[in-house]
Structure 1
Amino acid sequence: MLYINGEWTPSVSNKSFTIYNPATKEKVGEMAYGNKEDTEMAISSAEQAFKTWKRKTAGEKSAFLKTFADQLRVRAEDIARTITLEMGKPLRESIGEVNLAISYVDWYAEEAKRIYGDTIPASSIDKRIFVFQEPVGVVAAITPWNFPAAMITRKIAPALAAGCAVVVKPASATPLTAKLIFEALDAAGLPKGVANLVTGPSQEIASTFNESFAVRKLTFTGSTEVGIELMRGAADTVKKVAMELGGHAPYIVFEDADLETAVDGAIASKFRNAGQTCVCTNRIYVHQSIADEFGQLFAKKVRKLAIGNGLDENTDIGPLINRESLSKISSQINDAINLGGKVIAGGKEVKFEQMEGCFFEPTIINYATDEMNIAKEETFGPIAPIFTFQSEAEVVERANHFQYGLAAYCYTNDFSRAIRMMENLEYGIVGINDEMPTTAQAPFGGVKASGVGREGGKYGLQEYLVEKYVSMKIKQN
């Protein structure tokens, strides 16, 4: 079912599509197969609802978001289980994602009360200058499959807090999570049309978003290639855009770092969600003086990670989302081996008698070089290549990828070096001795081809606002 104008409704075509568990290939559920006409109805509903929602007081919007957060808490267990069923991540990771999703709603419930304007000194005594912050209008949000709950609330919570109306298009692989989130919105008393859910073919729905002058902002999380195409399309109607795109995160370990901490951080960053995150470690740079020791400890711990169905409480590594992902990482491994790399842990597909999904061992490649494809291409899978370096200047130059600039990590106990690294790494997010910097109150986003705009904190709220400048001439006594 689609959620349009406050009602659950089948698609105009009456068609639906099936969602499968990537671990077992069993059917999980069905969703309506929406099309251009459905999307246009959702946009129209949002356009009408925006006229009244934007006039709600800060307190009213805040109160609604608090109720929405409470309704998500009631459904937290079901949402987490649905995430695992739809996209495969271990259940404990899904629970963590749901908690993150709720934290965004909690944060923006308070941030809704902190939208301020300005008064500016005028150039003449008979004028007064004001700047107001107003909601941008109808927002179209396209969300990814790897974080199907958190990426929705990270977009709709600030949009609603700002006074915008929203149409959400979730990834086709994970629409059931979106459905549960909209059930929570509905139960919280969402006014009709303020938020709408359309599922179906990505290209048709996205094109409809871009063609509509009613949609004033497009926010997207996904690949750089798709993001570029969406930005091109959005230019025709001069939309405000926010794009959180691909990443190729370096993970730098200096000789003075705490080795155990750095290894544990690398495992948490690289192998979370089977390496299928945009901010996960892609390239590990280790100072040559500790490279052997790091590699041995890293491999020892990685070999202990359990692979399996995400619903199994013992599972550390779930399935890949599809066979295309498996083919890509296999290709990167073969290329690395041909260019002198050595697999010191993992390296093979894993097959289970009772499960038909795509599983791959968490893999470490030693002696990685900059000529390998894995050094140039984003890896959405459980492969960790280890590169060595000799100096700070060298590793900074190699870590600053020519294309990507989303997240970077650095491990060092030298305070001055830490300052230099956070200043010299060309990334939107830098974790110093911190492998998981994402939090609701901080800005999330990249530079270069990793995107434009920010989500999270006061910065994420600003993305849904536009400034209105008013110059007023008054009579003097």
Structure 2
Amino acid sequence: MSYQEIIETPKGLYIDGQWCDASDGATFSVTDPATGDVLADVASASVDDALAAVAAADAAGKAWAATPPRRRSDILRQAFALLVARAESFARLIVLESGKALAEARGEVAYAAEFLRWYAEEAVRIVGEVSTAPGGANRILVVRQPIGVAVFVTPWNFPAAMVTRKIGPALAAGCTVVLKPASETPLTALAMAALFEEAGVPAGVVNVVPSRQSGQVVGAMLHDPRVRKLSFTGSTGIGRVLLAQAAGNVVKCSMELGGNAPFIVFADADLDAAVAAAMVAKLRNGGESCTAANRFYVERPVAEEFSRRFAAAMAAVNVGPGLDDGVQLGPLINGAALDKVAQLVDEAVAQGATVLTGGRARAGRGYFYEPTLLAGVAPDARILREEIFGPVAPVCVFDTVDEAVALANDTEYGLVAFVHTRDLAKALAVSERIEAGMVGINRGVVSDPAAPFGGWKQSGVGREGGHDGLLEYLESKYICVAW
């Protein structure tokens, strides 16, 4: 996809199966992080527009819930086929509005498509239960029914995958949805709306309302009694605000929030494999991922050698605009993100950290920051306490298993952790002690559409992916009956 081709992508609101302008005519600009150039102006939904989308979803709800599971499955399967067929076009669109490298964008589209395939299969596996009450007086019949209208708020870092990871299970369960995509990357979500329509999703079942008035728009929807489900992916701070708003109508919430993932390397680890995994865990999406490895804890006997190899690998990364040949790392999403990363690195260096490679922003257009490895980071450095959301890896040393576990758990977050060792018993024992919803053993990525994705502590509530992700959109109803 080129700048010219973006002219052909939808830029309006998608409500009740129709493309329309915002009711007040408002728009906002979407820019290319690699250049700062404007890609397109997109309609910016008002509160009235958002509530119109809720009304459309509510009106379509009963018919969609009553649609046979096989039919819902077939529609999701068709959406999967369409996304696979148009993978390159979607990947290039993702590059232009999010900045990620083309190879990464292709990977995201494949990942996004798999959620559609997985939930096409899950749609026909909504099962209930029947049992005899312990006292024998009646039967316990449990059925599972769609929860109702779901509101989705998705982030900019995975503009396709976060859409399908939410819409896939909702449609499979029989729910209708209103999607408010990130204002940095709305074009992918709008293109996805067109794809769902082509796949056969009825009018009103999927609605997409980009907006610069995110707080007002989402808040208004959460205060509408027709909304029964919220799924949000984003920062813990905003998640807390949305949870408070959702409490008013006791809206069921799935919250995939911030992370501060530890990456633990024991002395007996395969260092080549550990470095390869570290490159993926750190640099996937340029480090702009809630699952990105944020803190590297390496056992003292191998710390220097691991750091040397890791620094060499990071120094070899090709940085540039995502559509250029051979580029492995694109820009950060915007100037604010670039400034934050630079500030975290500068503060760590001021506290005594050593820059082994990188350590500065690239001059010129775009929001590029060099892959950076820091050694000797102070234990109280802010870079170890906050999500970096950039291509920076701080390395710290530990001496014992207990110390490694304590360091890993010394955070309010608990999304994912990574453990590297040749000793499987040690890896499993450490995994059980780590306070996180997911652990990768000798791997740099854990995400899989068939697995439950989610965190502990301040990293969120609920799960996405796997059968657990389907259950988030179903209510259990107990029917007491004797026969």
**Correspondence for 1:235:** 247
> CA-to-partner distance for each residue in 1:141-199, whole Å, 9 max, x for gaps?
00000000000000000000000000000000000000111111011121110110001
> CA-to-partner distance for each residue in 1:78-119, whole Å, 9 max, x for gaps?
111110000100011000000000000000000011111011
**Correspondence for 2:344:** 332
> CA-to-partner distance for each residue in 1:27-48, whole Å, 9 max, x for gaps?
2112111110000110000001
Listed as ranges, the matches of 1:108-147 within 5 Å are 108-123=119-134, 125=136, 127-147=138-158
> CA-to-partner distance for each residue in 1:446-472, whole Å, 9 max, x for gaps?
000000000001010011111001112
Letter in 1 for 2:458: A
Q: CA RMSD in A?
A: 1.0
Structure 1 position 87 matched with structure 2 position 98: yes
**Correspondence for 2:292:** 280
Listed as ranges, the matches of 1:442-457 within 5 Å are 442-457=451-466
Letter in 1 for 2:431: M
Structure 1 position 120, deviation (Å): 2.1
Listed as ranges, the matches of 1:209-248 within 5 Å are 209-248=221-260
SS in 1 for 2:368: strand
**Correspondence for 1:193:** 204
The counterpart of 1:317, out of the listed 304, 325, 329, is 329
> In the alignment, is the contact (CA less than 8 A) between 1:408 and 1:430 conserved in 2?
yes
> In the alignment, is the contact (CA less than 8 A) between 2:260 and 2:411 conserved in 1?
no
> In the alignment, is the contact (CA less than 8 A) between 1:91 and 1:310 conserved in 2?
yes
CA gap of 1:123–1:285, structure 2 versus 1, over 3 A, is closer
Structure 1 position 313, deviation (Å): 2.4
CA gap of 1:293–1:48, structure 2 versus 1, over 3 A, is same
The counterpart of 2:85, out of the listed 59, 62, 74, is 74
The counterpart of 2:75, out of the listed 64, 69, 94, is 64
CA gap of 1:126–1:268, structure 2 versus 1, over 3 A, is closer
Letter in 2 for 1:311: L
SS in 2 for 1:311: coil
CA gap of 1:414–1:125, structure 2 versus 1, over 3 A, is closer
Of 179-188 and 115-124, deviating more is 115-124
SS in 2 for 1:191: coil
Structure 1 position 162 matched with structure 2 position 169: no
Structure 1 position 46 matched with structure 2 position 64: no
The counterpart of 2:371, out of the listed 340, 352, 362, is 362
Distance 1:28 1:134 in 2: 42
Q: TM-score, structure 1 length as denominator?
A: 0.97
Q: Percent identity?
A: 44
Distance 1:204 1:312 in 2: 38
> In the alignment, is the contact (CA less than 8 A) between 1:370 and 1:376 conserved in 2?
no
Structure 1 position 419, deviation (Å): 1.2
The counterpart of 2:184, out of the listed 173, 195, 219, is 173
CA gap of 1:410–1:123, structure 2 versus 1, over 3 A, is closer
**Correspondence for 1:472:** 481
> In the alignment, is the contact (CA less than 8 A) between 2:258 and 2:415 conserved in 1?
yes
Structure 1 position 124, deviation (Å): 5.2
User: How many residues align structurally?
Assistant: 471
Letter in 2 for 1:323: G
Distance 1:286 1:96 in 2: 29
Letter in 2 for 1:328: K
Letter in 2 for 1:259: L
> CA-to-partner distance for each residue in 1:114-138, whole Å, 9 max, x for gaps?
1110112125555222100011100
SS in 2 for 1:139: strand
Distance 1:439 1:402 in 2: 25
Structure 1 position 56, deviation (Å): 1.2
Distance 2:406 2:165 in 1: 33
**Correspondence for 2:389:** 380
Q: TM-score, structure 2 length as denominator?
A: 0.96
Structure 1 position 203, deviation (Å): 0.7
Letter in 2 for 1:382: P
Structure 1 position 424 matched with structure 2 position 433: yes
Of 123-132 and 245-254, deviating more is 123-132
> CA-to-partner distance for each residue in 1:278-320, whole Å, 9 max, x for gaps?
0011000011101111111111111111111011121111111
Letter in 2 for 1:9: C
> In the alignment, is the contact (CA less than 8 A) between 1:400 and 1:425 conserved in 2?
yes
SS in 1 for 2:301: coil
> CA-to-partner distance for each residue in 1:243-281, whole Å, 9 max, x for gaps?
000000000000000011101111111012111000011
Distance 2:329 2:121 in 1: 36
> In the alignment, is the contact (CA less than 8 A) between 1:308 and 1:359 conserved in 2?
yes
**Correspondence for 1:300:** 312
Of 443-452 and 267-276, deviating more is 267-276
Distance 1:33 1:416 in 2: 53
> CA-to-partner distance for each residue in 1:15-70, whole Å, 9 max, x for gaps?
21111101111121121111100001100000011111001111111111111111
> CA-to-partner distance for each residue in 1:369-418, whole Å, 9 max, x for gaps?
31111111111111100000000000100111330000100100012101
Distance 1:99 1:198 in 2: 25
Structure 1 position 74, deviation (Å): 2.6
Distance 1:49 1:152 in 2: 20
Structure 1 position 391 matched with structure 2 position 400: yes
The counterpart of 2:448, out of the listed 428, 439, 444, is 439
> CA-to-partner distance for each residue in 1:317-368, whole Å, 9 max, x for gaps?
111111111121121112211221100100011023xxx2111111000011
- Please, which runs of 5 or more residues in structure 1 have no aligned partner? none
Structure 1 position 258 matched with structure 2 position 270: yes
Of 318-327 and 147-156, deviating more is 318-327
**Correspondence for 1:291:** 303
> In the alignment, is the contact (CA less than 8 A) between 1:90 and 1:313 conserved in 2?
no
Distance 1:152 1:84 in 2: 16
Letter in 2 for 1:189: G
SS in 2 for 1:65: helix
Structure 1 position 204, deviation (Å): 1.5
Structure 1 position 8 matched with structure 2 position 27: no
SS in 2 for 1:22: coil
Distance 2:319 2:253 in 1: 38
**Correspondence for 1:37:** 48
SS in 2 for 1:180: helix
SS in 1 for 2:393: strand
Structure 1 position 21 matched with structure 2 position 35: no
> In the alignment, is the contact (CA less than 8 A) between 2:103 and 2:328 conserved in 1?
no
**Correspondence for 1:152:** 163
Structure 1 position 97 matched with structure 2 position 104: no
